[in-house]
Amino acid sequence: MKRPSDSLSLTQKLISFNTVNPPGQEKRCAEYLGSFLKEGGFTITFYDLDKGRSSLIARLEGSGDNAPICFTGHMDTVPLGATEWRVDPFGGDVEGDKVYGRGSSDMKAGVAAMVLASVRIGKMPKREAGLTLVITAGEETGSKGAEHLAGLDSVLGKPGAIVVGEPTANYPLVGHKGPLWLEATTTGVTAHGSMPDQGVNAIYKAARAVAKLEEYRFNTTPHPVLGSPTLNVGTISGGSNINSVPDKTVFEIDIRTIPGLAPDDFFKELESYLGEDVKLDSILALDSVATDPQNEWVQEVFDIMKPFINKRPEPRGAAYFTDASVFTPALGNPPTIILGPGEPTMAHKTDEYCYIFKIEEAIEAYFEIARRWCSPS
């Protein structure tokens, strides 16, 4: 089978796999990438998340004792949305210097770039350190594939550094906040709407709680790169009909944490702050990620990226979270960089696109990062 050999054709091939999550169905995409990487000399292992859903780990061994470098990305995408697309979301259409499609920026272009760069590393005759590719299913619904892999014994190894290929327009980022998503429930007693004194209104309880959350202030020092934690009430639903006192209301809270603000501890603090009228349940709790910008390897990556972005990078963090929330702490907190060719502002949008030249630049950047790690001499 003829394999795509350039950044555009491989990105288009990956876009052609419908991996909208839910349901995901990443297995065919994983098998394709596995076959591609196997031809490039990698040892391939698949890990099934669910029926039709697989993650992939590909390994290239080194000759020495140094830890490998890990590149990671995900295959699934978010749904297409309600707005009609102008282009085929799975067609990989090219217009000018852009390739279009669901997942083009988030993050099939990044996966294509790291795969092609890694195959080039595989052709190098001498490698003192190895390279591991971890390509996951289920990232878009809370890093489920990453959590599955991290929960398996000894499948991830112990890399010395991690590169996450999420969309950054090729600007290297040193971390991101952690998501803590909570479901809050208030309960009451139903009664006829004309006799509210006979019931207990759950919406009123929820309204008071939401008002308290609007006034909440974090008692924590801002992180020097990631800034302050944030809190937002994103949804609210209560009552079944206009002429009844509602006996249940549910609202959801999106908190983004920073290092030093442990999700479990903050959950307890918020539980106490809202009081006994509100029952809290955790939907998602993942760690924030922050690597010291002065880390020697991070500084080397900044050096490598200077010609690509026409200036030396300054320490920045991502607004979104990534699989690093799972992998970085699970692997002993190696230095972690988020770096990918996709446009951050195009993630999850209708008519999503990625600049083709940035995919090509990402291949060169990934290759140089991996080359210096695998063959430092």
What's the gap between Cα 367 and its chain centre?
A: 22
Q: Which domains does the chain have, with CATH numbers?
A: 7-176+288-374 (3.40.630.10), 178-285 (3.30.70.360)
Give me the residue label for tokens 């008692």: 219
pLDDT score recorded for residue 293: 98
**Tens of pLDDT, residue by residue, the chain (377 residues):** 455 558 999 999 999 999 999 999 999 999 999 999 999 999 999 999 999 999 999 999 998 889 999 999 999 999 999 999 999 999 999 999 999 999 999 999 999 999 999 999 999 988 999 999 999 999 999 999 999 999 999 899 999 999 999 999 999 999 999 999 999 999 999 999 999 999 999 999 999 999 999 999 999 999 999 999 999 999 999 999 999 999 999 999 999 999 999 999 999 999 999 999 999 999 999 999 999 999 999 999 999 999 999 999 999 999 899 999 999 999 999 999 999 999 999 999 999 999 999 999 999 999 999 999 998 76
Checking 1-4 for CB contacts under 8 A at 24+ apart, the result is: 1/35, 3/36, 3/39
pLDDT of residue 6: 87
Give me the pLDDT at residue 1, please: 42
Distance (Å, whole) CA 204 – CA 367: 58
Q: Are 175 and 168 contacting, i.e. CB atoms less than 8 angstroms apart? A: no
Q: Provide the phi-psi class of 103: left if phi over 0, else alpha when psi is between -120 and 50, else beta.
A: left
User: Is the CB of residue 183 less than 8 Å from the CB of residue 250?
Assistant: yes
What confidence score (pLDDT) does residue 36 get?
Answer: 95
Q: What pLDDT score does 4 carry?
A: 59
CA–CA gap between residue 235 and residue 249 (Å, rounded): 11
What are φ and ψ of residue 368, in 5° steps? -70, -40
| pTM of this structure | 0.94
Residue 147 C-alpha from the chain's centroid: 12
